[in-house]
Structure 1
């Protein structure tokens, strides 16, 4: 009969931790993740364009096979039942729950029992990529962790044919959710197979060499390879855009590790990541704990991917940043107490891990409550708008990357969700999203990042100074201007517009005078630009 389970190793604890992970998302009506409102706008167009033809005058929505469709597909059956906003909220609530469950299940499969140190990895369910609103990515990663645990379980049981039958379609569905999750699953599965194949004893010959283990691991992972065909079809399609670049940006990579738990309070978040790094360091130096060879190799492979990946892949920014928290999470659950460590010592470690999880959970809950209040104040403006309004929105921010984002950048997309109106915050990159903007009258104010304005010119960014944005937007193309936390500006810039709602710095104005002012250029802000070359996009 096996040794009695400790409280953190029981199924009841796993269920409780999984349910606790959704607590920060219970209160907010709209999950306060930076990009989520923008995605919701796309979902509304996706669901409503057939019955509301004016949307097709502004947006082009076309279904295609891309590795970035997780939530886009899930809202189709859910939205008619519970409404779009609740459907998105329920799906997003599932992501941290899947992440926590996946981390604990992997730890259980590798170690036989959940080690006390694994509890320190649980706050990474609210890592910075999730806070940024990369929801298809985050959903695919939560699913990938659980699929990896299933991969390990079936290997432990020797059910390799069943594993192949399950993972052939599962890998394709995971790729469809987001290609990143499929890639990470492949790395985790391959590293685990390498250790298993190396440690497998051959009759009369002992363990296999690493070269043979490498080849056998590759053969064992063949059921995961079918999405490579889907990837080729996707990237060879018509009008697929998106560059790949910014390789080996070491300063950014170091910053991304430090920002793995970034949310609102810089000191709190940096202290938290310091705790995780100290635990990883103790895993190397402390003779009372050790790293699992299997998960240690998986973590090493993920960190190698993090180093090799550029910042931009196929036009999607922060590709390497997204991987950092998961590499940390796998490294943390790789640590286990060495045999002989006292029960009291492991129980103390588990209690500290649980306290760390609960403190981070409490901080995230408070942060989301505050973000929800700012969302509610701003969204009151939508009640004053008619259906089908053409709205240009300007959201203020600073050139400096403040630790706590306002998270208002894509809030204007709720105009599409609640009023079927036009919003200039949508991304427009063929092949990366199903939606592109085609509202030509809006000129350079049709899509992201035209909604972001600053107090001055920010070198290296496409954001406009607020003076330039308010002066240059085409008056004939828009009925309303929505200002959200704008920088200070000259009131003369809104002459000919009537305020119809205001709350502090936030303001909604109706455009009455269609007379177009003389346009400003960056030269008016003292910016000397090189001569424009053919094929280069103007920052205007």
Structure 2
């Protein structure tokens, strides 16, 4: 006969809990490791965002910087970075503050998924380690950090909405009205994702109610009340920022839906993205084929609504690009949280999670190596920018035809906003620094050169802009709501041209550009002013 030791089962459970917590801490450290191994994580939009944070934190103290940009603190639905990073920069460098924000964004996605699973099943378990494979996604690649940060907050908020469903209506309305305002201010699209999750969950909850019954009206009233204030703020903001210039909305080719499908693991590194996608597809197939692995019924409608939104969202929505691939990563996180594993499938689940940990470590190693190579280039440019006098106007050229052999198109895009580091290092003016509905604006003396969004010029457009009389557009012409012609007459308007040319060493405009610094993949030119300027 075996004697049971009192409390031994509880002690074993506590020990397992501590071991699981330790595992998550170690894996979380591995997840953020690539972020802290580089000076500037090579996320497409990130250098541009980081330069904005530098302006908000330091423009008042640097005359050359305030001559190009001014802070414009207005309430708008994209303030997550603006409210956090400049405050962090009071205690650390702007570069470290940005990396802390990126790390927090990754951990919010992980923590939000774990919290949702805890809310659904009462425990976290090992299964959410699959989420680590979703952290380095296409959204992160593009540097859409405000949205990704807010989406992580949205997962926590959705978990709280489910967890507090039995509390009093006044408490829920008060708490979640506050939460939705925070989500709205952080990023509008993150609020949309949270709203779709709540809508799907409430549709599931009221499925047994009679139409227009007291219970149904009450449920929808409480659910909808939390969105009243954010809707009012959005309406006011929309009216205040109306423009006679038409915005661009374009669905794009159907092939973009494939990008959306693989976006949870698409980091522009095929040698690890493809194996990760195959692995996750295999995990999904095994879960679907095993009768002992199911899915939380209350999460099916939220997943369905998010999927429908993904299919419906265009490539450009009101001149905002990339809405078509923003939701699938959140769908994947909710899928991970909602998986239900019966005892008969525990062994299979352990095999899958252990394999997921191995794949995650491999994925992190590849990302780290890839980023290290690009970081060396970023650091080379950052040091070379010292050749520019502070406060000067800088034009950027990068032609897609100059992309290095063997590199996919996404590789070159990681350098689009690299010159924004000169805004941090040399207080330079860069015409396509993000100024559309954000916390900074171009100073009055350079507003004609400012475009709220944009990318580097091609060599063809650089040639087009030499003579204003023959250029396609007059200076400042609104091509659409957020893009203006900033290059027309550039020899008279700019002081330096940065050419991200990779292997193409040809001077893009020899008559107007004097080389001052040649790098391994870029050139910095001083602009030679036209003779007519000298006559004047």
User: TM-score band (shorter)?
Assistant: 0.7 to 0.9
Provide the residue aligned with 1:511 in structure 2: 527
Quote the Cα distance in structure 2 between the aligned partners of 1:287 and 1:473: 68
Does 1:219 find its partner at 2:221? Answer: yes
Provide the residue aligned with 1:449 in structure 2: 454
Provide the residue aligned with 2:322 in structure 1: 318
Using the TM superposition, give the Cα deviation of residue 234 of structure 1 relative to its aligned residue in structure 2, in angstroms.
Answer: 0.9
Does 1:30 find its partner at 2:32? Answer: no
Quote the Cα distance in structure 2 between the aligned partners of 1:344 and 1:17: 21
Provide the residue aligned with 2:434 in structure 1: 427
Using the TM superposition, give the Cα deviation of residue 354 of structure 1 relative to its aligned residue in structure 2, in angstroms.
Answer: 2.0
Does 1:414 find its partner at 2:421? Answer: yes
Quote the Cα distance in structure 1 between the aligned partners of 2:250 and 2:527: 41
Match of 1:260 among 234, 258, 264: 264
Does 1:380 find its partner at 2:389? Answer: no
Provide the residue aligned with 2:6 in structure 1: none
Match of 2:106 among 87, 96, 109: 96
The 1:398/1:491 distance shift into structure 2, 3 A limit, reads closer
Deviations 1:221-265 (A, max 9, x none): 235312111110111104557725123743212222123322242
Quote the Cα distance in structure 2 between the aligned partners of 1:261 and 1:102: 18
Using the TM superposition, give the Cα deviation of residue 218 of structure 1 relative to its aligned residue in structure 2, in angstroms.
Answer: 2.4
Report the RMSD for the aligned CA atoms in angstroms: 3.3
Does 1:500 find its partner at 2:516? Answer: yes
Match of 1:41 among 51, 65, 73: 51
Using the TM superposition, give the Cα deviation of residue 179 of structure 1 relative to its aligned residue in structure 2, in angstroms.
Answer: 0.7
Match of 2:97 among 87, 98, 105: 87
Match of 2:392 among 389, 392, 413: 389
Q: How many residues align?
A: 496
Deviations 1:358-410 (A, max 9, x none): 22222222222222122112222112222112222223324997243451101
Using the TM superposition, give the Cα deviation of residue 448 of structure 1 relative to its aligned residue in structure 2, in angstroms.
Answer: 4.8
The 1:197/1:59 distance shift into structure 2, 3 A limit, reads same
Provide the residue aligned with 1:530 in structure 2: none
Q: What SS does structure 1 have at the residue aligned with 2:44?
A: coil
Using the TM superposition, give the Cα deviation of residue 346 of structure 1 relative to its aligned residue in structure 2, in angstroms.
Answer: 2.8
Q: TM-score, normalised by structure 1?
A: 0.82
Provide the residue aligned with 1:520 in structure 2: none
The 1:88/1:148 distance shift into structure 2, 3 A limit, reads same
| Structure 2 counterparts to residues 107-506 of structure 1, below 5 A | 107-114=117-124, 116-155=126-165, 158=167, 161-198=170-207, 208=209, 215-225=217-227, 226-240=229-243, 243=247, 245-247=249-251, 249-337=253-341, 339-398=342-401, 402-429=409-436, 432-437=437-442, 448-449=453-454, 451-453=456-458, 464=460, 467-468=463-464, 474-485=490-501, 488=504, 490-491=506-507, 493-495=509-511, 497-506=513-522
Q: What SS does structure 1 have at the residue aligned with 2:39?
A: coil
Quote the Cα distance in structure 2 between the aligned partners of 1:480 and 1:260: 39
Contact 1:28 1:368 in 2 (8 A): yes
The 1:154/1:289 distance shift into structure 2, 3 A limit, reads same
Deviations 1:270-303 (A, max 9, x none): 2312322333344333323112112222211111
The 1:188/1:450 distance shift into structure 2, 3 A limit, reads closer
Using the TM superposition, give the Cα deviation of residue 115 of structure 1 relative to its aligned residue in structure 2, in angstroms.
Answer: 5.7
Q: What SS does structure 2 have at the residue aligned with 1:493?
A: coil
Quote the Cα distance in structure 1 between the aligned partners of 2:466 and 2:102: 35
Contact 2:431 2:449 in 1 (8 A): no
Quote the Cα distance in structure 2 between the aligned partners of 1:135 and 1:342: 37
Provide the residue aligned with 2:481 in structure 1: none
Quote the Cα distance in structure 2 between the aligned partners of 1:97 and 1:297: 26
Provide the residue aligned with 2:483 in structure 1: none
Q: What SS does structure 2 have at the residue aligned with 1:500?
A: strand
Q: Which deviates more, 32-41 or 208-217?
A: 208-217
Quote the Cα distance in structure 2 between the aligned partners of 1:252 and 1:399: 24
Quote the Cα distance in structure 2 between the aligned partners of 1:238 and 1:140: 23
Contact 2:177 2:226 in 1 (8 A): yes
Quote the Cα distance in structure 1 between the aligned partners of 2:47 and 2:134: 22
The 1:238/1:97 distance shift into structure 2, 3 A limit, reads closer
Gaps of 5+ in 1: 199-206, 455-463, 518-540
Using the TM superposition, give the Cα deviation of residue 468 of structure 1 relative to its aligned residue in structure 2, in angstroms.
Answer: 4.4
The 1:442/1:477 distance shift into structure 2, 3 A limit, reads farther
Contact 2:315 2:324 in 1 (8 A): yes
Q: What SS does structure 1 have at the residue aligned with 2:273?
A: helix
The 1:498/1:306 distance shift into structure 2, 3 A limit, reads same
The 1:19/1:487 distance shift into structure 2, 3 A limit, reads closer
Quote the Cα distance in structure 2 between the aligned partners of 1:328 and 1:398: 35
Quote the Cα distance in structure 1 between the aligned partners of 2:338 and 2:455: 44
Q: What SS does structure 2 have at the residue aligned with 1:34?
A: coil
The 1:516/1:27 distance shift into structure 2, 3 A limit, reads farther
Deviations 1:43-83 (A, max 9, x none): 23333444455556544653322101110121332222213
Quote the Cα distance in structure 2 between the aligned partners of 1:362 and 1:215: 52
Provide the residue aligned with 2:474 in structure 1: none
The 1:496/1:233 distance shift into structure 2, 3 A limit, reads closer
Contact 2:67 2:391 in 1 (8 A): no
Using the TM superposition, give the Cα deviation of residue 95 of structure 1 relative to its aligned residue in structure 2, in angstroms.
Answer: 0.5
Using the TM superposition, give the Cα deviation of residue 443 of structure 1 relative to its aligned residue in structure 2, in angstroms.
Answer: 6.4
Quote the Cα distance in structure 1 between the aligned partners of 2:123 and 2:72: 48
Match of 2:79 among 66, 69, 73: 69
